[in-house]
Amino acid sequence: NAGVTQTPKFRVLKTGQSMTLLCAQDMNHEYMYWYRQDPGMGLRLIHYSVGEGTTAKGEVPDGYNVSRLKKQNFLLGLESAAPSQTSVYFCATTRDNNSPLHFGNGTRLTVT
Amino acid sequence: QQQVKQSPQSLIVQKGGISIINCAYENTAFDYFPWYQQFPGKGPALLIAIRPDVSEKKEGRFTISFNKSAKQFSLHIMDSQPGDSATYFCAASISSGSARQLTFGSGTQLTVLP
């Protein structure tokens, strides 16, 4: 039982490059979230999904796109990476609105 | 605009001491206040949570104190241990529409000296 798995763990991009971060969960949770964590700013919600085929914007969605084609996977895409997107990205899942979030171990992304 | 303000940014406590981390919020519609613990290289994990209808919740050495009128809540770690050294985040949320969205504080790095 892996829980929430994020790939890759580390990535370095040049400005303008694109990439996709994958979040996979084996807990059959409905809700999935993408957060970014920056020093002194806590975690900020980028996008989230309340079920397969649904997505919604969070607090800081600009520059990112997401897809939830399968219930167990939530993808975060950067179409044209910028240095301001250097961060640690966390995926989280939960069964419902009254259950705690389960986080993955993060993807550290550096954009040069 | 930061809706949840957390202090201190860092905290050093001797083993056996009490660690206290404070948070203040602005939005009176928040109805759920969790604390998360994060170790280096790992994702945050739920430590303890409280709803505004109670003033205190205790789980083992960890206690949340909640002051609704002051819009403040705090985490107390009794008998702090070196294994408690981690970053702690407070958070607050409203069940808005289809999903509960958490607003996190900026984090407190706790170091417990042996």
Pairwise CB contact (< 8 Å): B42 & A105: yes
pLDDT at B2: 58
Phi, psi of B83 (to 5 degrees): -70, -10
Asked if B100 lies within 8 A of A56 by C-beta distance, the reply is no
pLDDT at A94: 94
Taking an 8 Å cut-off on Cβ atoms, the answer to whether A45 and B101 are in contact is yes
Please state, in angstroms and as integers, the Cα–Cα distance from residue B26 to each residue in A109, B55, B85, B103, B108, following that order: 32, 18, 28, 11, 19
In this predicted structure, what is the pLDDT of residue A25?
A: 97
- Whether chain B has a CB inside 8 Å of the CB on A58: the answer is yes
Closest listed residue to residue B101, CA positions, set A35, A84, A30 = A35
Q: What is the pLDDT of residue A1?
A: 58
Residue of chain B with shortest Cα separation from A40: B106
Residue type, A104: G
Q: How far does the CA of residue B105 sit from the closest CA of chain A (Å)?
A: 6
Question: Average pLDDT, stretch B35-45?
Answer: 96
pLDDT tens sequence across B65-109: 999 999 999 999 999 999 999 999 999 998 766 788 899 999 999
Please state whether beta strands B19-25 and B45-50 pair in parallel, antiparallel, or not at all (unpaired): unpaired
**H or E segment at B83?**
none
Q: Which chain A residues are within 8 Å of B95, Cβ to Cβ?
A: 97
User: How many Cβ contacts (< 8 angstroms) between chains A and B?
Assistant: 52
Using one digit for the tens of pLDDT, what is the confidence trace for A5-45? Answer: 999 999 999 999 999 999 999 999 999 999 999 988 899 99
Q: Are A71 and A23 in contact (CB under 8 A)?
A: no
Rounded to the nearest angstrom, the minimum Cα separation between B113 and chain A is: 23
| Residues contacting A13, CB < 8 A, separation 6+ | A19, A78, A81, A109, A110, A111, A112
